[in-house]
Amino acid sequence: MIPRLRTPFSLAALGKALVSADAGSRDRFEKAFAARFGFPHAVSFQYGRSAVYALLKALAWKDREVLMPAYTCAVVAHAIKLSGNQPRFVDSSSDHFNVPSTNWSSVTPETAMAVVTPLFGYPVDRQNTEKAIREASPKTFLLYDMAHGFAVEDRAGSLTQTADAALYGLGIGKHISSLFGGMLLIRNPEVHQAVRAWRDANCRAAPSTRTIKDVLYGAAVWAAFREPLLSCVDKLENDTSLLYRFTDYYYGKAGPSLPDDFLQMPTPFQAALGTIQVGEYEQLEARRWATAQLYEARLAKEGFPLFARHPGATFSHFPLAVAQRQKVVSEMRAQGVQLGILVDYAIPDLPGYETDKAAFPHARFFGKSMVNLPVYPGISVRQVERVCDALCRVRKLSPDAFITAFTPSPAAESESRAVIGA
Ligand SMILES: *Cc1c(COP(=O)(O)O)cnc(C)c1O
């Protein structure tokens, strides 16, 4: 079976991190991460959502409005809401899961923060997005959620070059993973001091048993996405706690919630594991990129509708929209290919967010339609061909399970995009 993902670290890296971890590991990780991704300051956390929560608390905001995509990971909205602030949402465009720059016109001077998200590592239209936000409200804090993007660029360079801060997730399935973890990169020294002081005052050290549990968890997840375990775990996945990281509970789909340990310090072992991968980042990204090129060339030729993009994408995932997701996933499984389902909702449709009455038709469409093809570093050219062959066979059997085209909206058409396959 071809797995939907693999851990970005090896078993050897787990061992190396375990023996090299010491009191200075967290500091070294923060410095290496900030240097690699282009910010002067970094503060690390146990989750990406903890970083969002800490930032809002450190800024001492209460009942302030934070504007964010309706189609993105729900944990960002949970952190905003549970920090005592109010998330408000912006829709995707009809033919792209990212928020088009025109939709940011709903920013007002009351908007304390805007969360710009290059989902799946596909760049957003940075310049027009920032122009729309800055024109409506010059003081709005600009946070980029880079959990999928990492080093994503557009033609003018890094997407975060003028951001106030950038958020990175380090859970399993991210470009770089410390098993659990989050990193906040910050431009302004006073904001940095405030976030660091808040974290050091509010985050407690992990219990001494945490590291050994994490090492075992890391090894289990490493093995769970390789045969012979893969096929068994694939069957058991819905009722095993082995893959806690992949359950609905983890994402808080039953309502706004944060994990019990969300205010724990990341351990030196986690930091050492993350630092190893910062050194390998170029290579990890290049391998994902090469795989995505193969998918784009082959699937465009076969007539699957793909997502337009600028050249600097980093492909945390390879997204495909289909008409009948469960059918596609189960028929692909029968062909020996695991597909990912990552963000299967629009946040305003989740419990706890019902008060937001506006409609988000495009976010809802992507929440119902998206699958992710395997793009992890190490997948072979042969395996990519097998995934594409399987998709073609499944489409032949069940043509209604697929879409043939997006219906473009005026907003989407006004965004200038590189045309794939041209
Ligand atoms: C993973 C992720 C985060 C952070 O998630 P945590 O599980 O809290 O580390 C934030 N935004 C997006 C889009 C993500 O995918």
At 60-70, the pLDDT tens digits run 999 999 999 99
d(CA 395, ligand 1 centre) in Å: 32
d(CA 316, ligand 1 centre) in Å: 12
Q: Among 258-262, 407-411, 418-422, name the one with the lowest average pLDDT.
A: 418-422
- H/E stretch holding 222 reads helix 210-224
Q: For 198-238, how does the pLDDT look when each residue is reduced to its tens digit (9 = 90+)?
A: 999 999 999 999 999 999 999 999 999 999 999 888 887 75
| Whether pLDDT at 171 is above 80 | yes
Around ligand 1, the residues with Cβ closer than 6 Å are 47-49, 72-73, 75-76, 117, 145, 147-148, 169, 171, 182
Q: For 268-293, how does the pLDDT look when each residue is reduced to its tens digit (9 = 90+)?
A: 999 999 999 999 999 999 999 999 99
Integer Rg of the chain from CA? 20
* Percent of the chain topping pLDDT 90: 88
d(CA 342, ligand 1 centre) in Å: 11
Whether the full predicted model's pTM is greater than 0.75, yes or no, is yes
